[in-house]
Structure 1
Amino acid sequence: MMENIIIHAPALLVAIPLFSAFITPLLSRLHHRVRDAFVIIVLAVTEILAILLAQHIYAQGIMTYVFGADIPSLTTEIPIRIVFEVDGMSIFMVLISFTIALVAAVYSASFFKKEDGLDRYYTLLLLMTAGMVGMELTGDMFNFFVFLEITSIASCALIAFWIDRERSLEAAFKYIVISAIGALFVLMAVGFLYGQYDALNIAMLAKNIQFTFVDKVALVLLLAALAMKAGIAPMHMWLPDAYGEAPPSVTIAIVATTQASLYGVLRVCFTLYGKGIEINMATIGWLLVGLGLLTIFIGVTMALIQKSFTRAIAYAAVGEVGYMIIGIGTGLAAGLQD
């Protein structure tokens, strides 16, 4: 029993919150406490499942889950199907995502008392959770784009939850514009890579990539898109508004989506383009270090002049993103992708 659960855990980590999102509005008709408890239980169960999977991954190594296969966890070659690739880094990010989502749900249950539309709020929270976990588990570039879109749309709606506040709507509008541009860049990059190699599987692309001019254009598009989503300067303008104007519980959850985008930067640099023998990834690394320093400078200096405490915290969060980007850039500059 437990072995079967572990085998199908990668799919369950996305499927459980995804299907629960559509059950939540029905439970709201019974009682709001039933709905709140259901959401918290769903996220707690998936967190426990993620912990069990993490123990398996750290003990047994990388796990590949192939949708539609007779034995999803067994593969002899790169499959031409939808694939989840679970390794130490991805499961670590999944644990962070579920932990933050669970904290947001628990806080929401106590923070929101007589707000309208809480059934839709919890639906969007679960959809956002499913989206960012899918981003962290998928081994396919097109599915990465799909999960990125699910995360973006749900996050935008959550930011605009207080629709009677003009600034919340403005913050949501900025977020959806940045997300739409980023999604377009990702889709273009996926199209370029598919046109070059007739494949969308990340492992197959990493194995066959030739580092042509088109591949380098795809790299720039992917990094630009994920930098927008992660709030890296000078593309950080949405983050202070989103963090500062959204409900506090939403701000907690959006932090996880930012981390998922940073995870995307890691995957692109160290996995997809990790064998960059014909492209100077050290240059990309130093560029990321420079962007990280700029992000820290803007975040810290802008935080000092804010009169609103929430916006000061939001700009401080921008600075924290800069520290993470410096870590990624340093790894590339040191040649750790080899």
Structure 2
Amino acid sequence: MFDRKNIKRYYLILVRKIRNFLLSAKSREFLIFLFFVFVSLCFWFLQTMNDTYQTEFKIPVRLKNVPKEVVMTSELPDEIRVKVEDRGTVLLNYMLGRTFFPLTFNFEDYQDKGSYVRIPQTEILKKISAQLNNSTQLLAVRPDTLDYIYSRGIPKKVPVAVGGEVSAGRQYYVSDIRVIPDSVVVYAPQGVLNTILTAYTQPFHWTNVTDTLKKHINLQKLHGVKFVPSSVDVVACVDMYSEKTLEVPVVGIGFPKGKVLRTFPSKVQITVQVGLKNFKSVTEKDFLVGVSYADVVANKSEKLPLTVKRYPDVVSHVRVTPSSVDYLIEQQTVSEPSKEKESE
């Protein structure tokens, strides 16, 4: 390893070699050559900068004196792009030594134009040209028009609707989709405000969801409309399916007085898919397996097909076992109402 003495000795040797090289005749010729190369490059650069070029600059945009009671529902852009043409020396001065001032517009100058204000292009070009040299040619301005929309009216509250789709993974189902917050405040000119009834989220498509999913999503933008807040949280709750089997009696529906439906068996099994959250709450009382008298009369088979007339919304894939049963219609004697004794 090098110690301090060795490092100092090597340093002195290196300095001596560099000094000897610079003081030699070859070194002086090399330095003179570099000087002329440098001078040539300067002349070439100056000649090149006298040529005409095109470039693009960004200029900030500002709107001043906006009253506190005014809500901007569509604001001016933060900046505009300006394409110009001039000699290279002038353009270099723009890039290195000169900063463009913001294009400032006074809100009070446009109050008589209503809630939708379009700034004339002539005013934009005038403010840009005031900051350019006389030799600079203005080729293009993007955007070529500036406008903004504001509201002074009373805002209103509207509900938020989900503008996307959620599909659960295998053996799962979407039990609930919540939006937080479920409503937002809308600011817009009165004529536009009256047409807005709902705020929608940006479209999305979530697939194969197997657990509760929460994402922050922006609301769909409308020109001249401002939503507060402009984004919401969408929560998709999923639950796992489970099978449940219940024993439910078969019931006759709409039978005439004195006629009773007898089925064999009198009870059937109903198998459904239900989420674990609702597994215990689903009972046989939530189901109705019924056969109408008209269906019995029209039936030409020895067995009677069964239909689930009622089941809760939280279940799916409802299956009946057996799907048909033996039956008979029993005629019962209808007792006549007893006559009241005639008063003596």
Question: Which one has the bigger strand percentage?
Answer: 2
Please state which band the TM-score falls in when normalised by the shorter chain.
under 0.3
Structure showing the higher helix proportion among its residues: 1
Say which structure, 1 or 2, has more relative contact order (CA 8 Å, 6+ apart). Answer: 1
TM-score computed with the length of structure 2 as normaliser: 0.16
Whichever of the two has the greater Rg, that structure is 2
Q: What TM-score, normalized by structure 1, do the two folds share?
A: 0.16
